[in-house]
Amino acid sequence: MRLGVDALNLVADRRGMGRFARTVLGGLQSSPDVEVTLLVRDPAHAEVLRAEFPFEVRTLLELRAARLHCTWYPWNGVRFDARSSKIVTVHDAFAFTHPHPNLVARWREQLPIRRALCAANVLTTVSRWSAREIARVVSVDEARFTIVNPVPDAFWRPVLPERAGKPYILVVGGPDRRKNLPLFFRAFERAFPDGGVMLVVAGTLRAEDETALRATRVAYERVRPNDERLRELYGGALAVAVPSLYEGYGLMCVEAMACGAAVVAADSAALPEACDGAALLVAPIDMQAWSASLRRIAEDDALRTALRRQSLARSERIDRAAPARVIAALARRCSAAVR
């Protein structure tokens, strides 16, 4: 069975969707009956992906020669027609609930999703919450979605952290308002007015969030770590904080848990589903609750130990082969239906 995979964004994206696609592709290497062809627009990307994956790589100009039975689109929509059955993963409804302020950019984000909802033979999403939310926002039957939870790569595991010095809480940001960082920074400032606990802020922030951070009296460090360093930061933190208002799943939570981190997360969107009872959950916009929870997790050794054990137990419950197995089964079903 010949499965095409939309790899247009695979070179550039190494965050949430990119991590998800890579874990599926890694698992598909163990499916001998599935011949994977990665589809790219840029020939330069083809060379990069050939070095990373043991798959055939073709440009969109070579689609006809690929003779695909089915194509998986992992990037929130359909941006080209591979002339085969279509499995589409719609991760979330952000393009509609948090629309881009620019009309053209908004159209570019929303149109591939609308096209997917019309053209897909099979729809998947990453959480039960996302299935309900997408169905609510764009009026599609929730029952059409197969749930494929993201899983942490085997890379994410406990390691001995090299960092020494002041205890810290880690938060990993992103260039989105929904990350809820200004409220979190103020809550952290209230929790630790004496600077006894440091805040380590990783990742890319909006300019507004950088300004909000600098406006506080928080003792903080800004880092842009590679994955090896991020894994160490997860393992060495008093806790990993995930204050987001809106996440389609919460892969960061399960990656941190796989590293043995205590996790404190917003009780919102799909984060409780991803954390599966292993995190300390906090009302997302209650600054007092965040301050109290951060102080508690920093001061209570027994709580941190319990959360770390729960994290590792949660990680052990995850079937890391499941996403690739489900995508392969869906592709076989689509392929059989058109033969």
Question: What confidence score (pLDDT) does residue 216 get?
Answer: 95
* pLDDT at residue 104 greater than cutoff 90: yes
Let me know how many helices (H) and strands (E) the chain has, helices first: 14, 13
Residue 294 maps to a domain: yes
Question: Which strands form 239-242's sheet, in the order they lie side by side?
Answer: 220-223, 198-202, 168-172, 239-242, 263-266, 280-282
Q: Please indicate, yes or no, whether residues 76 and 173 belong to a single structural domain of this protein.
A: no
The CATH code of the domain that includes 195 is 3.40.50.2000
> What is the reported pTM?
0.93
Q: What is the pLDDT of residue 9?
A: 96
Q: How far apart are CA 262 and CA 259, in angstroms?
A: 9
User: Within a domain: residue 160?
Assistant: no
**Which residues form the domain of 223?**
168-317
SS3 101: coil
- The span from the CA of 316 to the CA of 112, in Å, is 36
Q: What is the mean pLDDT of the chain?
A: 95
pLDDT at residue 295 greater than cutoff 90: yes
If you write DSSP's letter for every residue of 7-62 in order, what string do you get? -TTTTT--SHHHHHHHHHHHHHTT-TT-EEEEEES-HHHHHHHHHH-SSEEEEGGG
Q: Is position 248 within any domain?
A: yes
Of 89, 94, 107, 114, the residue nearest 17 (C-alpha) = 89
Given this model, what pLDDT does residue 110 score?
A: 96
Tens-place pLDDT, residues 141-200? 999 999 999 999 999 999 987 666 799 999 999 888 999 999 999 999 999 999 899 999
Total count of residues recorded for the chain: 339
In the prediction, which pLDDT does 339 show?
57
DSSP assignments along 276-330, one per residue? TT-SEEE-TT-HHHHHHHHHHHHH-HHHHHHHHHHHHHHHHH--TTHHHHHHHHH
Phi/psi for 222 (5° steps) reads -95, 125
pLDDT at 338 over 70: no
- Domain count within the chain: 2
Answer whether residue 159 is part of any domain: no
| Beta bridge partners of residue 170, listed in sequence order | 200, 240
